[in-house]
Chain A
Amino acid sequence: MNVHPERAASHRSIAETGALPYAPMAMPEQRLERRYEWRALLRLLSHPWMVWK
């Protein structure tokens, strides 16, 4: 096993072969639930042709 030191320190993986390159990239959590778009749904129901725009 040849774990990249920084990854090893993070304890995210327990085994790593070939030492994956350590090149972190942010992956922000998306907002899916906090605000329901009732108006969007009403608009869709009242103007169904929006779907094919």
Chain B
Amino acid sequence: MTGLQRFFAFLFCVVVAGSATALAANVLFADGVHWIDHVRLALLGISVAWLAWGASLALNGLLAPSAEPAPGTDERGTPQARTAVLVPVYNEDPTKTFSHVAAMIRSLADQGASRQFDFAILSDTNREEIAAAEQYWFGRLQGEHGNMSEIFYRRRAANTGKKAGNIADFIKSSGAIYDYLVILDADSLMEGATMIEMVRRMEAEPRLGLLQTLPKIVHARSWFGRAIQYAASFYSPVFARGLATTQGATGPFWGHNAIVRTRAFAQSCGLPELKGRPPFGGHILSHDYVEAALLSRNGWIVRLDTDLEGSFEEGPENVIDYAKRDRRWCQGNLQHSRLLLAPGLRPWSRFTFLQGIMAYLASPMWALFLLASIAAPVIIGEPNYFPEPHRPPVFPRVEQFQALILLAGIAGILVAPKLLIVAQGALNGRNAGFGGTLRALATTLLEIAWTSVLAPIMLMYQARSVVQVVCGADGGWPAANREADMVSLKEAWDASWWISVGGVVILAATMAFAPEILLWLLPVVIPMTVSPLLIQVTSWRLSTSAQGGTSLFTCPQDFTPSPVIKAQESILARWRRQDDRLPPGGLNDELAAFVATPTSR
């Protein structure tokens, strides 16, 4: 089936991008052919092909038959294989991280399988005060749950190789006694039953090197976070099903909420340091894509099983945190350009690298298309109404209707998959989990409007990230980690003033040089100009009710939270409430939040 899905996806892209380019050629060549028109056509064609690729994944997901139970599902009993659950941490809130671990241990204990799973918290924390808090909270975790599972904590002196190096360090020193490793992030949560099922599936398919789950976002509180949580819950399963069927046995690895066969991972995924300096040299940043490609290179199956429920993570709560994370991913994905020609990789792995690169190049391409459209009237100049040797005057055609069709088509590629997901949800009953079809439709329309307003801001951040990486800048912007989720107007202004200024400049340039496209550009220019305000407002807390009744962007986890989430919330609340132990000395105010805070009684 995978070959058919890939063929369909490519064909869809070619047809859509070809049609859009042909239509655009009609519009742009109406007043004569100029080199700037060719530039605009090329930029538009590539950008539309990229949008069509995303839509094709959704269509593949919609058309894919409902997930068949993978081998292993029917088996009963607890697998006897030894599995280590790895929780790499790096200056995260230890109370929260350890509460996640505690909830997962309990969940496994409920299934009678906690003895088959050891937990290892692998700390790369380099702030001494947070490390002290980690050790304090590890003691609490060990005291309360050490009788259920083996729990380890170790901290590296130097975080060589970052997360990939952290995992590799564990495998090199302790990997030999574990058949499987469940790799998590500090904010990951998984049901015990899900982890057991993952082990069963690994046991059932000896060629399976890595099994990736689709984590759902939980604990979102802000408008921004809730919108992302909704998108991840409602659209992502369909997109991921399309991805899974398109990628087949050369599946993705997203770095967490996945299980690997220790032997396969150790044999295949020892990452070298790339020659040269960052951003293109040095440690491989987006190691997960590379590890998936290396497992495939060695003949192991890498699979995404979208039917596995009970896998959760947390997402960014505001635009700034999102953009910071995106900056890291951008650098990591562009670094993959060094690996496109690595020896022995499967063609699809190379194509996956290309997709990752394109995900970030698309933004500067759109930005260049907009700039070229503003500059075009200046470059082309006034039309010649009386060209020799024609006597009757020649008036340029205005192809506004075709331009509208083109715009509607591009919008359709973005919007149609989401509306089709609502339609399919109405037919198969999936919308019930999102408050019914009417509510799902209203929320989807709100999410589409929301995404459209924020898209120009995201586009600018991504375009800047690409320029920074290409110019050789390593790392993100130098902003301190904020404990508060909400963004103040000053923080928003500091992070986005240049977008605002850019919006005003584009507006002025359009009015001066290309007033005829002003209306077309307003949906881009207005959000840019008011970006600090949008960033602040979208970080506001969105009130939620336990039943999900009155809140926007409701998801099934609002109505029926997973037991492991409920357990984690209750453990965290208890730990934060209790005052039976004093925090370790030397913690500053910021870190006092990480340890038990005394409460008045």
- Chain A interface (Cβ within 8 Å of chain B)? 7, 10-38, 40-41, 44, 48-53
Contact = CB atoms under 8 A, between A and B. Distances in A.
Contacts of B340: 41
A26 B157 CA distance: 21
Given A14-B155, A30-B294, A41-B341, A21 B174 contact: yes
Nearest to B273: A29
B157 A12 contact: yes
B343 interface: yes
A18 B172 CA distance: 18
Contact of B152 (A10, A17, A44): A17
B339 A32 contact: yes
Interface stretch (B2-10, B19-27, B584-592): B2-10
B272 A13 contact: no
A50 B347 contact: yes
Contacts of A38: 341
B391 interface: no
A41 to B, nearest CB: 6
Contacts of A12: 156-157, 169, 173
Contact of B154 (A17, A27, A30, A34): A17
Given A18-B150, A20-B120, A37-B343, A27 B171 contact: yes
Interface residues of B, number: 56
B175 interface: yes
A interface majority secondary structure: loop
B425 to A, nearest CB: 29
A13 B341 contact: no
Interface string B343-363: 111011011000000000000
B342 A32 contact: yes
Given A18-B142, A31-B272, A51 B348 contact: yes
A23 to B, nearest CB: 4
Contact of A29 (B6, B174, B271): B271
B153 interface: yes
A37 B326 CA distance: 30
A37 B342 contact: yes
Contacts of B272: 29-33
A37 B344 CA distance: 8
A53 B347 CA distance: 9
B542 to A, nearest CB: 39
Contacts of A49: 7
B552 interface: no
State the 4 A-B residue pairs at the shortest beta-carbon distance, nearest first.
A52-B6, A25-B175, A23-B176, A36-B341
